[in-house]
Amino acid sequence: MIERIDTVCLLVNDVEISSKWYQDVLGFKEVFMEEGYRVLSVGTGSVPLTIEEGDPNPTPNQNYPIFFTKDIKQTYEKLKEHGVKVGEIHNDDVNNFFDFYDLDNNKLQVCFFE
């Protein structure tokens, strides 16, 4: 029946501005564009991120993507250097992770585990 996750979608206020932010700050690549949305490849992964124009209106219980990095401290510092709002790095004895937020205050997370 269901074969795979096709994409993860986030609502943003302005797809052009947000697409540039995701490319410049996170290194994603725009692989498809259409009026009102953009599809961005995420590293070497097979599931892209789609940003869609709409009212993001983040809530405390929102769903959010979790991205993986091989160097969480370096990723954390690079995001801070870009002026990105980041939370503290946490360790739950299984992995290290932290939350960060895009231009529309969408919650995103980065993790690292061995």
Predicted confidence (pLDDT) at residue 58 exceeds the cutoff of 80: no
In a domain, 84, yes or no: yes
**What's the mean pLDDT in 67-94?**
97
In a domain, 1, yes or no: no
Domain of residue 21, residue span = 8-112
Q: What is the pLDDT of residue 19?
A: 98
First-last CA distance in the chain: 32
Q: What is the pLDDT of residue 60?
A: 72
In a domain, 95, yes or no: yes
Angle at 32 between CA 29 and CA 38, to 5 degrees: 80
**What's the mean pLDDT in 85-106?**
96
In a domain, 17, yes or no: yes
In a domain, 16, yes or no: yes
**What's the mean pLDDT in 28-41?**
97
Q: Which helix (H) or strand (E) holds 19?
A: helix 15-26
In a domain, 2, yes or no: no
In a domain, 106, yes or no: yes
Domains held by the chain: number: 1
